[in-house]
A and B are shown apart, each in its own frame.
Chain A
Amino acid sequence: AQKITQTQPGMFVQEKEAVTLDCTYDTSDPSYGLFWYKQPSSGEMIFLIYQGSYDQQNATEGRYSLNFQKARKSANLVISASQLGDSAMYFCAMRGGIQGAQKLVFGQGTRLTINP
């Protein structure tokens, strides 16, 4: 079975600092995908970044990058130059191989608060 673990219930960071949100995963599928979503207080789920298990390079999208360490089964999200608008819940999620391709398994989330 697939599992996502986010060990940081809450993080507090000063504005303009970089922040790393931890995510570890467990799967026996050789092919999988890893996602990060942001959920602001308004409640919607906003896709941030995706990393495929066979991708050679770490994914980047603007201020977001994914620190993918396959041997350690970790997929940490790095947000550079944090902004007040980054305050939200952040969820790490995994897509399985062919069998589980239609499902995402989510972690418990990390609540990030950016202080001015």
Chain B
Amino acid sequence: NAGVMQNPRHLVRRRGQEARLRCSPMKGHSHVYWYRQLPEEGLKFMVYLQKENIIDESGMPKERFSAEFPKEGPSILRIQQVVRGDSAAYFCASSPPLSGANVLTFGAGSRLTVL
């Protein structure tokens, strides 16, 4: 009965490289959310996805960031041409259908360091 699984837990990239963060939701959960936590700050909403659909991406930076949740496999948060300001913890959360955010379960986070 695994929870929300995120990998890698730690990722180091040089400026200009690409970062891919993966999230497998809890069993039975079809809604995935991505949040970003900058150092010494609270989490900030980035994007909300259901299988094969982006429902709300109002928190995503306009450039370089994209997210997907394919029919098969984990959700992917992709950051192209990373910059130092992208260094942060990226949290994935999932919930069952029709529950809104009442029962969000968070993963352990992926910590991205950009050198």
Tell me how many residue pairs across A and B have CB atoms closer than 8 Å. 58
Does chain A have a CB within 8 A of B69? Answer: no
Does chain A have a CB within 8 A of B104? Answer: yes
Does chain A have a CB within 8 A of B30? Answer: no
Q: Is the CB of B42 within 8 A of A103?
A: no
Does chain B have a CB within 8 A of A91? Answer: yes
Instruction: Number of B interface residues at 8 Å Cβ cutoff, please give it.
Output: 25
Flag the segment in A13-21, A40-48, A62-70, A72-80 that touches B.
A40-48
Select which of A47, A50, A91 is within 8 A of B43 by beta carbon: A91
Does chain B have a CB within 8 A of A101? Answer: yes
> Which of B10-64 touch A at CB < 8 Å?
31, 33, 35, 41-45, 48, 55-56, 59
Q: Is the CB of B89 within 8 A of A104?
A: no
Q: Is the CB of B101 within 8 A of A103?
A: yes
What are the residues of chain B within 8 A of A108 when measuring CB–CB? Answer: 41-42
Select which of A42, A101, A109 is within 8 A of B100 by beta carbon: A101
In the bound complex, what is the Cα–Cα distance between A47 and B101 (angstroms)?
12
> Which of A81-108 touch B at CB < 8 Å?
91, 93, 95, 101-108
A interface residues (Cβ-Cβ under 8 A, vs B): 4, 33, 37, 42-45, 47, 50, 91, 93, 95, 101-109
B interface residues (Cβ-Cβ under 8 A, vs A): 31, 33, 35, 41-45, 48, 55-56, 59, 89, 91, 93, 100-102, 104-109, 111
List, sorted by A's number, 30 A–B pairs whose CB atoms are closer than 8 Å: A33-B101, A33-B102, A43-B89, A43-B108, A43-B111, A44-B106, A44-B107, A44-B109, A45-B43, A45-B93, A45-B106, A47-B106, A91-B42, A93-B42, A93-B43, A102-B31, A102-B33, A102-B48, A103-B45, A103-B56, A103-B59, A104-B43, A104-B45, A104-B101, A106-B43, A106-B44, A107-B42, A108-B42, A109-B41, A109-B42
